[in-house]
Amino acid sequence: MKLAILVFDRFTDLDVFLPWDLLNRVARFKMLPDWEVKLVGTESHHTSENGLTIPMSADLSYIAEADAVLIESGPGVQTLIHDEAFLARMQSLLDPGRQMIGSMCSGALLLAKLGLLEGLTATTYPTRVKQLAAMGVEVLDVPIVAHDKIATAAGCLAAVDLSRWFLEGLASKEVAENVIASVRPNGI
């Protein structure tokens, strides 16, 4: 299985690193063979809202071969939703009939702009609810909304729920539970 995490300048650190770690545990703990997670972007490196610059492990073209795509969040989304060349490229790479596609927080704005939330409910970061609703999407005040192969998550810690959705859909409930158990606080 191939998973792509879309990163861009001014991304939200926790929204990238929490699912990156959770999804990579499948390979690290040897739960499944041929499991790979790659950070993809338009540049070789992207810088977070907090100033951390990280390397990408693949370019955008990797999205076309991925079984799942996670679109991240952060203030940089506001630039991307107005970048017609970027949106056209994403349209050509994404295959919602074949891929699981999910977003963290404001990443839902990109899903809406790409037409992937048409007729669906979704969730997003509280400060982006009005903006997403203005795009014609009914916004729910819940951590995660999943419709078959499309999901949106809101609030950085909802990355656990979104990661579970990807893990269950691409692997199994058992794999998902094992991954989540590996980070669960004691006493829970």
- Mean pLDDT score across all residues of the chain: 97
pLDDT, tens only, 5-20: 999 999 999 999 999 9
Q: What is the CATH number of the domain that holds 90?
A: 3.40.50.880
pLDDT, tens only, 15-67: 999 999 999 999 999 999 999 999 999 999 999 999 999 999 999 999 999 99
Q: What is the pLDDT of residue 127?
A: 96
For range 82-105, the mean pLDDT: 98
Give the Å distances, CA to CA, from 141 to 78, 123, 126, 170.
Answer: 21, 6, 8, 26
- What's the predicted TM-score (pTM) here? 0.97
82 — alpha (psi -120 to 50), left (phi > 0) or beta? alpha
| Residue 80 in tokens | 């991307």
What is the residue range of 41's domain?
2-181
User: Is residue 96 in a domain?
Assistant: yes
User: Is residue 87 in a domain?
Assistant: yes
**Domain count of the chain?**
1
Torsion of CA 16, 17, 20, 25, to 10 degrees: -160
User: Which residues, other chains included, contact 23 with Cβ-Cβ below 8 Å and sequence gap of 6+?
Assistant: 3, 5, 37, 70, 163, 166, 167, 179
pLDDT at 188 over 90: no
Q: What angle do CA 121, 69, 158 make, to 5 degrees?
A: 55
The answer to whether residues 145 and 102 touch, using CB atoms and an 8 Å cutoff, is no
